[in-house]
Structure 1
Amino acid sequence: MRVDLDRRLASPERIRSGSLRPDILIWSTQGKKMVTVELTVPWEERCCHLAGYAWMEDGPLCVKMHSNSVNWDTAKTLCEQDHGRLAILDNAKLHQAYFNYGGDGYRDAAWIGVTDQDTEGSWVWLNGADLNTSYWSFVQLNNYDGYLPDKFNADCAATGGYGGIIDLHCLKTKPFICQRIDLE
């Protein structure tokens, strides 16, 4: 028995004509038989729920709403400690899935994974994608929060309720939304 631990995904020379790349391939040169085994998870939403997250199939999106209020950096760290990230709603489908889901808790202001901390006015998601505001119901990214003493330094974004996005001072405390992309 040979095992491909280097993950080269190489089929034996005698069986190279197919396009399958199964997880397990068992073959017998003497009996001229081959068995392929594909390891899959038939119900991804179960994995999401088992991790304590909510599964939104129309995204697909696997998120958890945290009702405790923390600042943006703490929210980012807490999501990472839970094997996730602050939620990234970087396309219309994910945005719609998120705002269609659940009750008012998902519609109130909550930290998400987009910021303009690096360059003022250049909003970038934590995955590196630029913010596209075309699918947000309202956009309030005006660098003004009213958070004293630094009210003109709103560099972190939150959901603004009912499909909107707003900028807030990163030290302000808000609930936050974590996302598990590994379970989507």
Structure 2
Amino acid sequence: MGISKMSEAVLYCDVTFNKRNADDSSSSLTETTYSEVNVSKMQQSVASQEGLSHRGSKVRSERVPVLVAGVLLIAAIIGLGVLSFYYLALKEDLRTLQQQNKALKNMTEELRPKCERCWELQGGKCYYFSFGGATWQQSRDECRRQGGELVKIDSREEQEFLESIVRKEMKDDEDKFWIGLTDLVVEGRWLWVDGSELNTSLTFWNRNEPDNWKGEDCVRMGVKAGADDLRSWFDRACHIEQRRICEKPAGTGL
């Protein structure tokens, strides 16, 4: 059997055709056919191997785009994951900032100067312009009952603010308002209700005032038509009933 296989292998690779006599015609035909068959088998085998090789190359070339697409898909998923993480982190930071801003706004609102109902806020103070009249002393007592005092005017800006409100509130030119200035203690020595002396460089006396006519020791203010250079102070007898201006520091959290 081993010899037969070896001879057959030789026939696959080295085929020699020899002329023979007529008597050997059948033998020659048989050998030729056998040789042609074996050569054909060998060609088919080589072609088959080449086909497999081509198919393998084709399969590999077709798998490359799939692999690339897979890699890109994985990269996209990772990228989306990273973006989602940063988005959630940014959203949480934004929520924290909003909460802090709300807390700061509430704190600012609580600290912002405020006045009670019917009191006017100006320059960190609250001012009350009464509707009814009373004597100077009664007016002062009423201001104290409300937690304040008859107004003391410390600046031109304050006088301007008060004068503008008074003109709007006045019904007529005699509908004036008591302020916290008097010379009841010493005639001609004008003192504010806190005991401080009137600053002569900061006065708003109307023309020919104070005149101390018939013991006028308390001060009221107001000119319905508007006073020249804010000069709207008049001395008046303290027992006359007038409206009043009270003041007190502005509060917080009201």
TM-score, structure 2 normalization: 0.47
Aligned residues: 134
CA-CA distance at 1:72 after TM superposition: 0.4
Distance in structure 1 (CA, Å) of the matches to 2:166 and 2:187: 33
Task: Structure 1 unaligned segments of length 5 or more: list them.
Answer: 1-38, 145-151
Of 186, 207, 211, which residue of structure 2 is paired with 1:142?
Answer: 211
Q: Which residue does the alignment assign to 1:76?
A: 140
**Are residues 60 and 156 of structure 1, via their aligned partners in 2, closer, same or farther at CA, if it must alter by over 3 Å?**
same
> Does the Cα contact within 8 Å between 1:61 and 1:94 map onto a contact in 2?
no
Identity over aligned pairs, percent: 23
**Counterparts in 2 of 1:1-184, with a 5 A limit?**
41-44=110-113, 47-48=114-115, 50-56=116-122, 59-101=123-165, 103-105=167-169, 108-132=175-199, 134-136=202-204, 138=206, 140-144=209-213, 152-161=214-223, 162=227, 163=230, 164-183=232-251
**Are residues 131 and 183 of structure 1, via their aligned partners in 2, closer, same or farther at CA, if it must alter by over 3 Å?**
farther
SS at match of 2:126: strand
Distance in structure 1 (CA, Å) of the matches to 2:244 and 2:112: 26
Distance in structure 1 (CA, Å) of the matches to 2:164 and 2:125: 12
**Are residues 137 and 154 of structure 1, via their aligned partners in 2, closer, same or farther at CA, if it must alter by over 3 Å?**
closer
Distance in structure 2 (CA, Å) of the matches to 1:135 and 1:155: 16
More strand by proportion, 1 or 2? 1
Q: Which residue does the alignment assign to 2:100?
A: none
> Does the Cα contact within 8 Å between 2:121 and 2:250 map onto a contact in 1?
no
Distance in structure 2 (CA, Å) of the matches to 1:172 and 1:102: 18
Distance in structure 2 (CA, Å) of the matches to 1:103 and 1:160: 7
SS at match of 2:163: helix
Please list the CA deviations of residues 133-162 of structure 1 after superposition, one character each: whole Å capped at 9, or x if unmatched.
545262521111xxxxxxx21111001323
Larger Rg: 2
**Are residues 53 and 135 of structure 1, via their aligned partners in 2, closer, same or farther at CA, if it must alter by over 3 Å?**
same
> Does the Cα contact within 8 Å between 2:210 and 2:235 map onto a contact in 1?
yes
More helix by proportion, 1 or 2? 2
SS at match of 2:141: helix
> Does the Cα contact within 8 Å between 2:167 and 2:222 map onto a contact in 1?
no
User: RMSD of the TM alignment (CA)?
Assistant: 2.5
> Does the Cα contact within 8 Å between 1:154 and 1:168 map onto a contact in 2?
yes
